[in-house]
Amino acid sequence: MGFHLCSQAFHSTPTPTHNQFLHSISRGFVRTRVSNLRAMQQEEEPKHLGKVRVPHVLTVAGSDSGAGAGIQADLKACSARGVYCSTVITAVTAQNTVGVQGVNVVAEDFVREQLKSVLSDMHPDVVKTGMLPSPGIIKVLCQSLKEFQVRVASVDNTNFVKEALVVDPVMVSTSGDVLAGPLILASFREELLPMADIVTPNLREASALLDGAPLQTVGDMRSAAKSIHDIGPRNVLVKGGDLPESSDAVDVLFDGKEFYEFRSTRIITSNTHGTGCTLASSIAAELARGSSVLSAVKIAKRYVGSALDYSKDILIGGGRQGPFDHLMKLKHNALPCMRRPFDPSDLLMYAVTDSRMNKRWGRSMSDAVKAAIEGGATIVQLREKDTDTGDFLEAAKTCLEICRRHNVPLLINDRIDIALACDADGVHIGQSDMPARVARTILGPDKIIGISCKTPQQAEKAWIDGADYIGCGGVYPTNTKENNITVGLDGLKTVCLESKLPVVAIGGIGISNVRAVMELGVPSLKGVAVVSALFDRECVLTESRNLLRAIMDSTKAVK
Ligand SMILES: Cc1ncc(COP(=O)(O)OP(=O)(O)O)c(N)n1
Ligand SMILES: Cc1ncsc1CCOP(=O)(O)O
Ligand SMILES: [Mg+2]
């Protein structure tokens, strides 16, 4: 089963004109300031002062126990797009990658109660519908939307849409199981579609909403989009993923005036369960964030394409059609050598690379890292001050493979972008680099963050900001880092005694003085970080072995 990548919208008529843009405004599709408007209103109420209103989609859909589609897909898609998602469940399905084994429709009164709970309190920006298993539930939904004035007036005097309604007319699951029978069609046509800002049928659904004739060409899709538009929705997106004999996937959007075609390369994957729900909820999420319909569709398609491409080789379930990874993270964690959590004893012999030294001794970054690890390095930091970004990234990927093979953490000095791009285990940052609190937000809870500290105050702040360890130095004078103040053994001891985080000592440390450092015997001091003692030498392997022996001897002596 294929799907598409790299959506590209192009007009069947020349490029969009200013008039078309104005037209889209007058149709109420420019939603940019909805949240701002609300925020302004809320400013008057003291209890909301200082609070930020977040974009919000309410999904009214069925639950999928396999979590590839339905409510679960909507929650994941909205989360991935940074939008809050509330849920009204219309049916509970027993479902997996093989098919739908059972459906339990939620009582109409209870659907009404859920709608009331959310709409009376939370004021979503967009309502998105999925599986609506009975005409009665559609009636309840339409009544509730009217009662709570969702989509009653899409354009107010200031041209801002108040709320939008996205309808995914779910009828048949991707496995071919019927989720909403033919009785639903009349309710869709007569009640829900006329209220919708956008409806997103696939080929089969578009055909069912019309006269039942199969859609086989892009021309058929255009005619269908126009005919469905006549039923009342402001925009119609006919999805052509199943169009026969097409190497590309083509979707057609009709806004009542213009046709837009989105063409993209099919992604060859069987992990497509839930693409329809995900596309519709991603469109809803973009509308909630203030996009126009056209750009919401464009961005949503791009997002779904990226998620499918990322997930094309993941394995969940034994059926014909697997789910995909909305957050695009699962594969990283499933790599054969999954990183274990940071352990302070990792700091024992901390090897920090230096591009100039490696160049001087004619070895690559990865050769240097390999030798240091074979010699006993317990953690590695790539500190490459004058390597081009592209080269740094490629070398970092190679070093990461080596480190993963040996279960040794790999950190990147300063460059959070490189750490993210190669999925390194973390970063080491200094007092003048990106603030640790921001780095933690960007990197998430699992990555290792080390911070350079010279004082107990800096150590305290590092702990508060969510660092994992601190590097303290320069302990001794060094030529490796210019203009670096030396704190000496006393300064190191003071910081170690105050630090709530494990400490690694750095600066001018080598085989001749490592004993003096480790014999400080302060419990928080877990090891030494070295650059020149390993890398400004002819044989990194020998130096690493010798230094590790000296560290071990001195720690034994302390005990
Ligand atoms: C383990 C360890 N400790 C301290 C440093 C120094 O980091 P920083 O202060 O950011 O200086 P630069 O290394 O960026 O010059 C370190 N790299 N590693
Ligand atoms: C990066 C850094 N931060 C404080 S001192 C230092 C340099 C350590 O290098 P060397 O081990 O060669 O003295
Ligand atoms: Mg730095």
CATH, residue 394: 3.20.20.70
What local confidence, expressed as pLDDT, does residue 242 receive? 79
Distance 558 CA to ligand 2 centre (A): 24
Rg (CA), the chain: 29
The answer, yes or no, to whether residue 466 has pLDDT greater than 80, is yes
Selecting among 78, 277, 399, 453, the annotated active-site residue is: 277
2 inside domain: no
What local confidence, expressed as pLDDT, does residue 558 receive? 67
Give the CA distances from residue 318 to residues 47, 273, 294, in Å, rounded to whole numbers and listed in that order.
51, 13, 37
Return the ∠ at Cα 477 (arms to 475 and 480), rounded to 5°: 105
Write the CATH number for 65. 3.40.1190.20
The answer to whether residues 217 and 244 touch, using CB atoms and an 8 Å cutoff, is: no
Ligand 2 contact via 474 beta carbon (within 6 Å): yes
Same domain, 510 and 447: yes
Same domain, 162 and 233: yes
Q: Final residue of a domain: which of 274, 296, 328?
A: 328
Contacts for 159 with CB less than 8 Å, ≥ 6 apart: 25, 26, 28, 30
The answer, yes or no, to whether residue 246 has pLDDT greater than 50, is yes
Task: Establish how many alpha carbons lie within 13 A of residue 345's alpha carbon, considering only the half-sphere containing its beta carbon.
Answer: 4
ipTM above 0.90, yes or no: yes
Give the CA distances from residue 535 to residues 471, 481, 539, in Å, rounded to whole numbers and listed in that order.
19, 14, 8
Distance 480 CA to ligand 2 centre (A): 5
Ligand 2 contact via 481 beta carbon (within 6 Å): yes
20 inside domain: yes
Same domain, 119 and 242: yes
The answer, yes or no, to whether residue 340 has pLDDT greater than 80, is no
Please tell me the least confidently modeled range out of 4-18, 110-124, 191-205.
4-18
How much is the average pLDDT of 453-482? 96
Distance 54 CA to ligand 2 centre (A): 45
168 inside domain: yes
What local confidence, expressed as pLDDT, does residue 174 receive? 63
The confidence band for 386, taking pLDDT boundaries of 50, 70 and 90, is confident
Same domain, 320 and 355: no
259-268 sheet: strands from edge to edge: 2-11, 259-268, 248-254, 235-239, 198-199, 164-167, 126-129, 56-64, 84-95, 100-105
Percent of the chain with pLDDT over 90: 77
Ligand 2 contact via 478 beta carbon (within 6 Å): yes
481 inside domain: yes
**DSSP characters over 145-159:** HHHTTSSS-SB-TTS
**Does this model's pTM top 0.80?**
no
What local confidence, expressed as pLDDT, does residue 333 receive? 66
Q: Which of ligand 2's atoms lies nearest the C-alpha of 509?
A: 11
Contacts for 348 with CB less than 8 Å, ≥ 6 apart: 378, 526, 527, 548, 551
Same domain, 313 and 374: no
The answer, yes or no, to whether residue 129 has pLDDT greater than 50, is yes
What local confidence, expressed as pLDDT, does residue 16 receive? 37
512 inside domain: yes
Distance CA 421, CA 416 (A): 8
Return the ∠ at Cα 125 (arms to 443 and 53), rounded to 5°: 50
Distance 406 CA to ligand 1 centre (A): 24
Distance CA 203, CA 220 (A): 10
The confidence band for 31, taking pLDDT boundaries of 50, 70 and 90, is very low
Ligand 2 contact via 349 beta carbon (within 6 Å): no
Reply yes or no on whether 87 is catalytic. no
Ligand 2 contact via 450 beta carbon (within 6 Å): no
Highest mean pLDDT out of 124-138, 144-158, 329-343: 124-138
* Helix axis angle, 365-374 to 389-405, nearest 10°: 20
Q: Final residue of a domain: which of 306, 328, 350?
A: 328
Contacts for 322 with CB less than 8 Å, ≥ 6 apart: 68, 97, 270, 271, 273, 314, 315, 316
Q: Closest-lying ligand to the alpha carbon of 448?
A: 1
What local confidence, expressed as pLDDT, does residue 255 receive? 95
The answer, yes or no, to whether residue 227 has pLDDT greater than 50, is yes
3 inside domain: no
How much is the average pLDDT of 510-520? 97
Ligand 2 contact via 451 beta carbon (within 6 Å): no
238 inside domain: yes
The confidence band for 150, taking pLDDT boundaries of 50, 70 and 90, is confident
How much is the average pLDDT of 104-130? 97
Which is more confident, 380 or 290? 380
The answer, yes or no, to whether residue 34 has pLDDT greater than 80, is no
Return the ∠ at Cα 345 (arms to 524 and 378), rounded to 5°: 130
Average pLDDT score over the chain: 88
- What are the backbone angles phi and psi of residue 273, rounded to the nearest 5°? -65, 120
Same domain, 364 and 450: yes
Distance CA 559, CA 557 (A): 5
The answer, yes or no, to whether residue 23 has pLDDT greater than 50, is no
Number of domains forming the structure of the chain: 2
Same domain, 312 and 371: no
Instruction: Please state the separation of Cα 547 from the chain's center in Å.
Output: 42
Kindly report, residue by residue over 426-439, the tens digit of the pLDDT.
999 999 999 999 99
What local confidence, expressed as pLDDT, does residue 176 receive? 67
Q: What is the domain range of residue 255?
A: 10-45+53-328
Same domain, 444 and 470: yes
The answer, yes or no, to whether residue 3 has pLDDT greater than 80, is no
Distance CA 87, CA 188 (A): 20
Same domain, 321 and 376: no
Selecting among 59, 97, 129, 275, the annotated active-site residue is: 275
The answer, yes or no, to whether residue 146 has pLDDT greater than 80, is yes
The confidence band for 11, taking pLDDT boundaries of 50, 70 and 90, is very low
How much is the average pLDDT of 189-212? 94
Nearest to 492 by CA among 453, 449, 530: 453
The confidence band for 45, taking pLDDT boundaries of 50, 70 and 90, is low
The answer, yes or no, to whether residue 244 has pLDDT greater than 80, is no
The answer to whether residues 250 and 261 touch, using CB atoms and an 8 Å cutoff, is: yes
Same domain, 407 and 301: no
The answer to whether residues 402 and 540 touch, using CB atoms and an 8 Å cutoff, is: no
- What are the backbone angles phi and psi of residue 322, rounded to the nearest 5°? -90, 165
What local confidence, expressed as pLDDT, does residue 330 receive? 87
Q: Final residue of a domain: which of 267, 293, 328?
A: 328
Same domain, 305 and 345: no
Distance CA 422, CA 218 (A): 41
Same domain, 295 and 359: no
Reply yes or no on whether 70 is catalytic. no
195 inside domain: yes
Reply yes or no on whether 486 is catalytic. no
* 3-class secondary structure per residue, 421-485: HHCCCEEEECCCCCCHHHHHHHHCCCCEEEEEECCHHHHHHHHHCCCCEEEEECCCCCCCCCCCC
The answer, yes or no, to whether residue 337 has pLDDT greater than 60, is no
Kind of pairing between the strands at 259-268 and 2-11: antiparallel
What local confidence, expressed as pLDDT, does residue 384 receive? 93
Reply yes or no on whether 276 is catalytic. yes
